[in-house]
Amino acid sequence: MEYEFTLKYKLSDKESDADALVERLAEAGCDDALVGTGQKGRIALNFIREAASAKEAIISALTDVKRVIPHARLLEVTPDFVGFSDVAEWLGVSRQNMRKLMVTHPLSFPAPLHEGSAAIWHLTVLLEWFITSAGYQVHQRLKDVAHVAMQINLTKESDLLEEPVRREVKALVV
């Protein structure tokens, strides 16, 4: 089965030759990715990878990239962090329809990770709500990729937690 996802990295000073990186990535098995190098010091790889599962597809891509650019720092696996426009596009509805559902279901609609001029959610959380509460049909591959992307992003960020703070805060927020 084919899975589509993007890996975004911050490059180290040792890995600044974008053309050489693109060539090395292709040689290492990342020829199933469209590579973006538009922002200096960053690289994004949009994969369409064949695998038995979303997890296998993403983990194998992470492994391939790590082998080629070991000092690059993973910034994000997408799709994960999304706003209304992103989800509306995947579901084939308007942004206004999304907002209406949020306003008419204030108690059950998932709370965003960030509220401000732009609200941000984990895609997998929103998809699950739209499936169970609003009866939307969502392709299983999108659900699987979004779930794995969230798991990887959360794992990556958990390394920033200090253990005593994590224990104390977890008791207060869960």
Q: Which of 159, 156, 158 is nearest to 78 (CA)?
A: 156
Cα Rg, the chain, nearest whole Å: 18
Residue ranges and CATH numbers for the domains of the chain are 2-78 (3.30.70.3400), 81-147 (no CATH)
Whether the model clears a pTM of 0.95, i.e. scores above it, the answer is no
Average pLDDT over residues 142-152: 96
Per-residue pLDDT of 6-59, as tens digits, reads: 999 999 887 878 888 889 999 999 999 999 988 888 999 999 999 999 999 999
Which amino acid, 69? I
Average pLDDT over residues 92-120: 89
Name the pLDDT band for 174 (thresholds 50, 70, 90): low
Q: Which residue has the higher pLDDT, 80 or 164?
A: 80
